[in-house]
Amino acid sequence: MLSYKYIRFVYTVLGTLNMTISRKRLEELENIPESAIDTSDIPELDANFWAKAKLVTPRTKQAISLRVDSEVLDWFKSQGKGYQSLMNAVLRSYVEHHAKSRE
C-alpha cells in the first residue's frame, strides 16, 4: 500500500496548483507487483548511508487563537478540507523565504 506523509508545494493566490491523485490511479499503483518496478537507477543503501541517517520526528503544532480578516478566512475555507494546514503551509513558506533572505 502506498503511503505518504507530506506533499510540499508552493501555493499562490494568483493560481492554484492541482495536486490531486485519483483513487483509481492510486489503486493502479498499489497493484503493480514489486518485480515490475525498475529500480536499477536507485543506488543501494549501504552501511555508510545508515551511519549518517538521522531520526526526524514530526513537528508538533501549537494551538493558538489568531485573528485574521474575514475575507482571508473565507478564502482559505473555500479551498476545502485542510484549510488550516494550508494556512500553516503558507505561513511556513513565508517564514522560510524571509529566513533565507536574511542570511
* Total count of domains within the chain: 2
Tell whether 48 and 80 lie within a shared domain. Answer: no
Would you state the pLDDT for residue 20?
A: 63
Mean pLDDT of successive 10-residue stretches along the chain, which has 103 residues: 50 52 82 92 89 84 94 93 90 88 73
Would you state the pLDDT for residue 11?
A: 53
Instruction: Annotate the chain with three-state secondary structure.
Output: CCCCCCCCCCCCCCCCCCCCCCHHHHHHHHCCCHHHCCCCCCCCCCHHHHHHCCCCCCCCCCCCCCCCCHHHHHHHHHCCCCHHHHHHHHHHHHHHHHHHHHC
Nearest Cα to 13, choosing from 68, 65, 78, 81? 78
Cα atoms found within 13 Å of the Cα of residue 1, Cβ hemisphere only: 2
Would you state the pLDDT for residue 91?
A: 92
Domain that holds residue 40: 2-52
65 occurs within a structural domain: no
- What is the pTM assigned to this prediction? 0.46
Q: Which amino acid is at 90?
A: V
57 occurs within a structural domain: no
Tell whether 15 and 45 lie within a shared domain. Answer: yes
Tell whether 45 and 77 lie within a shared domain. Answer: no
88 CB-near residues (< 8 Å, 6+ apart): 61
Would you state the pLDDT for residue 18?
A: 53
Would you state the pLDDT for residue 1?
A: 46
Whole-number Å distance between alpha carbons of 53 and 47: 10
79 occurs within a structural domain: yes
